[in-house]
Amino acid sequence: MKKKILTIVGARPQFIKVSPVSRYLKDYADEILIHTGQHYDFNMSDIFFEQLGIKKPDYNLEVGSGTHGYQTGEMLQGLEKIMLDEKPDGILVYGDTNSTLAGALAASKLNIPVFHVEAGLRSFNRKMPEEINRVMTDHLSTLLFAPTNTAVRHLSSEGIIKGVHLVGDVMYDAVVQNVKVAEQNSDIIEAHHLVPNQYVLATIHRAENTDDKKRLVEIWEGLNLIHMPVVLPLHPRTRKKIEDMGLKVTSEHLKLIDPVGYFDMLTLEANCLSVMTDSGGVQKEAYFLKKMCYTLRTETEWVETVELGWNRLVPADREIIKTVLNKTQSPDIKSYKEVYGDGKAAQKICDLILQA
């Protein structure tokens, strides 16, 4: 008899992570897919399911936006009911979102095993909601799938040894599987009249940047000082903050566009000169595609990218942003190392779940 696995997703990076795992798991287990509705805009949600070949969710909680307490509480109620009805053999959660924490909490109180993909990441910044989510989820999990040796060490330092497995990064699996087909099916470079390797790709969405007016103004002014095209797909939340603060585009080079689907995003990443972001997922995708990344944070969970010279932490300072982006210089390709696995993380995760 096949195991019944309940998978919980709710945000753009999780749709990407779930794709290679579900592709492999579907042949060996009955997977029930729950979309919490944490990201509900078409370009932040539905289009990812379409492009990545993820099956339509069996449940959609349609939680939408709100405070962390509201979102997590609504998800807890909805997820508990589904778990009681479905009686799964385990639940599969991804990363550090409110959806992940709600799933882990609901399952642990019902004595259902929790399987955590991307376990062991740490920023060591407890002011980040994502840090609280991932730490709590790791301590509630039965199987912990670590993407790197660093993640394994973090778990060990917290006394978490049992059930820990070094498997590699499922986002690397997704890039390996999709980058060529993405470029073949995307016209975003032509649509925005971009020249490969002659533009910067930027993303801003983390609360530490969008909710702090001083930081957001410095970042915004810095992007307006770049001497080459800067493409900025605007997260709906970031767009609202910019509008509320009355920030304007003052440079002919800064191009604001709507959120993009996975194929368009991969294509933008693969063809840019460099990336500036506060996204963990985009940091990694930049590294996988051998693009220099500048991260608008004071720390990163993906320390390997910094240690190898392909990622630099940049303060919210307009002059520093202007300087680093106008003088982008990628490191020697010889410094690049395959530190995120062999592109078969999803298969290893599924095999371990089936053996549990």
Length of the chain: 356
pLDDT, tens only, 32-67: 999 998 765 545 567 778 888 898 899 999 888 788
**Structure confidence at residue 41 (pLDDT):** 58
Q: Let me know if 214 is exposed, middle or buried by CB neighbors in 10 A (0-12, 13-18, 19+).
A: exposed
Q: Answer whether 53's CB lies under 8 Å from 21's CB.
A: no
Share above pLDDT 90 across residues of the chain, in percent, rounded to a whole number: 85
pLDDT at 43: 52
Q: Tell me: pLDDT of 321 over 70.
A: yes
pTM of the model: 0.92
Nearest to 273 by CA among 338, 185, 202, 206: 202
Instruction: Report yes or no: 226 and 325 within 8 Å, Cβ to Cβ.
Output: yes
The pLDDT value recorded for residue 127 is 87
Query: Does residue 175 contact residue 288 with C-beta atoms inside 8 Å?
Result: yes
Which position among 192, 205, 227, 235 bears the catalytic label? 205
For residue range 194-205, list pLDDT tens digits in order.
999 999 999 999
The answer on pLDDT for 294 being more than 60 is: yes
Mean pLDDT score across all residues of the chain: 94
**Residue 334, number of CB atoms within 10 A of its CB:** 6
* Helices (H), ranges, the chain: 12-25, 46-52, 68-86, 98-109, 129-140, 149-157, 170-184, 188-191, 207-210, 213-223, 236-245, 262-271, 280-288, 303-307, 318-326, 345-355
Note the pLDDT of residue 44.
54
Mean pLDDT value of segment 116-142: 95
- Domains of the chain and any CATH numbers: 3-169+341-355 (3.40.50.2000), 178-335 (3.40.50.2000)
Position 106 pLDDT exceeds 90: yes
Cα–Cα nearest to 114, from 124, 125, 102: 102
Task: Verify whether residue 205 is a known catalytic residue.
Answer: yes
